[in-house]
A = this chain, B = another copy of it.
């Protein structure tokens, strides 16, 4: 099973970069998973963006701390089984955090988790949550894919090694910068610390630089807006998972810099 996993896509430029790449890769992969926490204007997701992403060929969506930014998500998340929020949100939180799904006749589990270090101390332990979900889903399928949305490299690597041999694939999201440590761990789990974002590359993690720089220089609050005027970058990973064993056979970064005029010719 060939998976294209995509990290945080940032607003409209992120969606455009995704669309541009999917045009070429949609038919070459079996499964497309995208982290959508910043897909609508950089903050959260709307129903309209959700549908736009589905129509591009996104199969499943994961997310993270920003999933709640657009309030309308509360209205549709429960009726969108292909849109996950981190599974270690406590009981009573809308939406679901994992599921067993099927694509092209292959069953697999998709789990979304969130780290707590420097991110949100109010969540349940992601390691323990994984154990519990693993006990359930490993009865059903050897293919277990985890989007681990977290800030620190230590929590991500610790989780990767913790899940090594149990998960098929653990990929990080949230920092918006792709890491170059993609690897197959000793137990067969594909791992990367962060897939990175898709959006305008000359930006501060997808946002207009000036406001962010001003924040660091003056210390006063700023309004952050998605950078839209620059050329784009797409970041994702291509992963081949053995359907019998659930082991990752190959994990490879897919990075494309896309000039605005390239984009123009394919977008309608």
Residues of A within 8 A of B (CB): 68-69, 89-90, 92-93, 116-125, 127-128, 151-155, 157-159, 161-162, 175-181, 183, 185-186, 193-194, 196, 201-205, 209, 212-213, 215-221, 235, 253, 255
Main secondary structure of the interface of A (DSSP, over half): loop
Q: Is the CB of A90 within 8 A of B125?
A: yes
Q: Is the CB of A209 within 8 A of B120?
A: no
Q: Which residues on B sit within 8 Å (CB–CB) of A204?
A: 154, 157-158, 161
Sample (27) of A-B pairs whose CB atoms are under 8 Å apart = A68-B221, A89-B219, A89-B220, A90-B128, A90-B219, A117-B121, A118-B118, A122-B215, A122-B218, A123-B219, A125-B216, A127-B217, A153-B175, A153-B177, A154-B176, A154-B212, A157-B205, A158-B209, A159-B216, A161-B202, A177-B194, A178-B180, A178-B181, A180-B180, A181-B196, A183-B201, A185-B202
Given A122-B219, A162-B209, 19 more pairs with CB closer than 8 A: A68-B220, A90-B125, A90-B219, A93-B219, A120-B121, A120-B219, A124-B124, A125-B217, A127-B213, A127-B216, A154-B205, A157-B177, A158-B209, A158-B215, A161-B209, A178-B180, A180-B235, A180-B253, A185-B202
Q: How far is the CA of A175 from the CA of B193 in the complex (A)?
A: 11
A90 CB → nearest B CB, Å:
5
Q: Which residues on B sit within 8 Å (CB–CB) of A196?
A: 179-181
A158-B213, A202-B186 known; A90+B218 contact, CB < 8 A: yes
Q: Which residues on B sit within 8 Å (CB–CB) of A121?
A: 116-117, 119-121
A153-B175, A202-B161, A202-B185 known; A216+B122 contact, CB < 8 A: yes
A238 CB → nearest B CB, Å:
14
**Which residue in chain B gives the minimum CB-CB distance to A120?**
B219
Q: Which residues on B sit within 8 Å (CB–CB) of A205?
A: 153-154, 157
